[in-house]
Amino acid sequence: MKNIYVMAVVLFLISQNSSAQEKAISEHVILISIDGFRPNFYQETKWPAPNIKKMAKEGVHADGVRGIFPSVTYPSHTTLITGAYPASHGIYYNSPFEAKGQTGKWFWESDAIQTETLWDAVRKSGKKSASLIWPVSVGAPVDYNIPEVWTLDKGYGKITPMRDQETPKGLLEEMEIAVLGKMNRVTFNGDNLSREDRTGEMAAYILRKYKPNLMTVHLIATDHFQHEQGRNGDKVHTAIAAVDRAIGKIMEAAAQSGIADKTTFIITGDHGFVDIHSALNPNIWLVEEGLMEAKGDRGDWKATFHTQGASAFLHLKDQQDTQTLAKVREKLENLPNAIKKLFRIVEKSELESIGASPSAVFALNPIPGVAMGGGFSGEILTKRSGGTHGYFPDFHQIETGFVAWGAGISKGRVISKLGLEDIAPIVSELLHLNFQTKDGILYPGILKD
């Protein structure tokens, strides 16, 4: 009798899983984030991105995707994987605010995420996932995972922390033997475009061999070289070509594996980019007012600006210190108009409406072309070059892109605009996951009728 009962339970679970598979629109979703991805990369002829442009033409693309605040990499990627704003998912910045001074630590560990992720939902559904170089993915519930992580120990090799945190153990070595060659600072370095080739080859290998239902992939070259050269630098053209080539490797792997017709590609990013010429250093004002010291650990401080990308977020040592807050506001109000015109104050209510850090009292958002700096001594306004991001996401240049193509996706459709939080619901619907996003919404017109 006991054996009959066990067999009945097994058959029920198999039927449930089979039913879920039948309802899934797609069997494999490849979610690719191109760091610093801009819509004009697939809208303008001058950019060498044939694979992305093919997908945009044949599938669905957006004129722009509104990001989160600050529009920087780690909170943005966590919004992609959760469908929630930073106030909900808990990754407010690239690097956490540290009251005793910034150590250089970033939000690497996935246990800092306070909401359910797509990875969680995939595992609960009995499906398989893979992830490559995705922010905030150390220890994530992913079956095949090479996370983005490094160490504050200067003598510790850049590849070693990823190897230490991989899942399963030996995955990176397996890929080195099969397709990569030995990984080191030369063959996998963000300063070199060959890094994108290695990431593409890893993704292609995992897709061919393990066929995960969800794969998340992070490609970085376009961000790196836009920081260095601005939006239209020569290296930005070669960077998008390298990214497109990496995507082509994954597309080819799907075809070689006989799963191309069951696979969906979603190409998106975390933020756009803005060319900059100057930096404003607001912590100098706080030093002048005796609210912090010109020291790396801020010394005896009462208020400080935590700079993230182009913007700066005011933190108080004592959240109830209204006297210090009033002193900061008075300082800002009495600045010369020539300086005041370079930024606006993003008040608490506006921070709450876009789901920014609940600990920030307010933020300073500069005009395009100017970025907030972290300096606490010297000149208030200094020279800068290249490009950056982190601005409040209310203008087109800071928007990222979106392209969807493949199984379950409509053909030849253009979406005017969607939010970064609206991408996770698409993945959930395609894979038929029991996943509820806090802030994102599904645009059903993206999917095939």
pLDDT of residue 243: 98
Residue 8: the pLDDT is 42
Q: Where are the beta strands (DSSP E) in 171-284?
A: 214-219, 263-269, 274-275, 278-280
Dump pLDDT digits (tens) for 63-82: 999 999 999 999 999 999 99
* 9: pLDDT strictly greater than 70: no
| Average pLDDT score over residue span 346-365 | 98
What is residue 153's predicted lDDT score, i.e. its pLDDT? 85
Domain boundary residue, one of 384, 410, 433: 384
- Residue 22: its pLDDT value, please? 53
pLDDT band, very low/low/confident/very high, at 416 (cuts 50, 70, 90) = very high
Q: How far apart are CA 244 and CA 85, in angstroms?
A: 29
Phi, psi of 117 (to 5 degrees): -110, 165
- 40 and 125 assigned to the same domain: yes
Q: Are 314 and 294 members of one domain?
A: yes
The reply to whether 18 falls in a domain is: no
Q: Is residue 36 part of a domain?
A: yes
**Residue 108 and residue 91 share a domain:** yes
Identify whether 76 is part of a domain.
Answer: yes
- State how far the Cα of 390 lies from the Cα of 75, in Å rounded to an integer: 11
The band of 186, judged by pLDDT with boundaries at 50, 70 and 90, is: confident
What average pLDDT score do residues 128-142 get? 98
Strand positions, DSSP E, 301-429: 303-308, 311-316, 343-346, 363-366, 370-372, 381-383, 387-388, 402-406, 413-415, 418-419
Domain count of the chain? 2
Question: By percentage, how much of the chain surpasses pLDDT 90?
Answer: 91
Q: What confidence category does residue 6 fall into, taking pLDDT thresholds of 50, 70 and 90?
A: very low
Q: Same domain, yes or no, for 198 and 109?
A: yes
Verify that 252 and 352 share a domain, yes or no: no
What's the token pair of residue 148? 């983005």
pLDDT tens, position by position, 222-279:
999 999 999 999 999 999 999 999 999 999 999 999 999 999 999 999 999 999 999 9
Assign 429 to helix, strand or coil: helix
- Non-local (6+) Cβ contacts of 448 within 8 A are 25, 408, 409, 410, 411
Same domain, 182 and 258: yes
11-15, 20-24, 38-42, 128-132 — which is least confidently predicted? 11-15
Q: Quick check: bond before 358 cis, omega within 30?
A: no
Which segments within 337-390 are labelled E, that is strand?
343-346, 363-366, 370-372, 381-383, 387-388
110 and 186 housed in the same domain: yes
- Do 269 and 291 lie in a common domain? no
pLDDT at 23: 78
CATH number for the domain that contains residue 285: 3.30.1360
- Residues 55-86 as b/e (b if ≥16 CB within 10 A, e otherwise) read bbeebbbbbbbbbbbbbbbbbbbbbbbbbbbb
The single residue listed with the structure tokens 């290249």 is: 386
Q: Are 76 and 67 in contact (CB under 8 A)?
A: yes
Residue 198 belongs to some domain of the structure: yes
Reported as a pLDDT band with limits 50, 70 and 90, residue 132 is very high
Summarize the confidence of residues 359-366 as an average pLDDT: 98
CA distances from 281 to 1, 140, 364 (A): 75, 36, 11
Helices (H), 24-152: 40-43, 50-58, 73-82, 86-89, 118-124
Full domain range(s) for residue 244: 26-273+394-446
Q: Which residues contact 323 (CB under 8 A, 6 or more apart)?
A: none
Whether residue 321 is found in the same domain as residue 204: no
Tens digit of each residue's pLDDT (9 = 90 or more) over 424-437: 999 999 999 999 99
d(CA 169, CA 146) in angstroms, rounded, equals 10
Residues 238 and 299 in one domain: no
User: What are the respective helix, strand and coil percentages of the chain, to the nearest 5?
Assistant: 40, 20, 45
Average pLDDT, the chain: 94
Q: What is this structure's pTM?
A: 0.94
Q: What amino acid is encoded at 361 in this protein?
A: V
Res. 58: pLDDT tops 80: yes
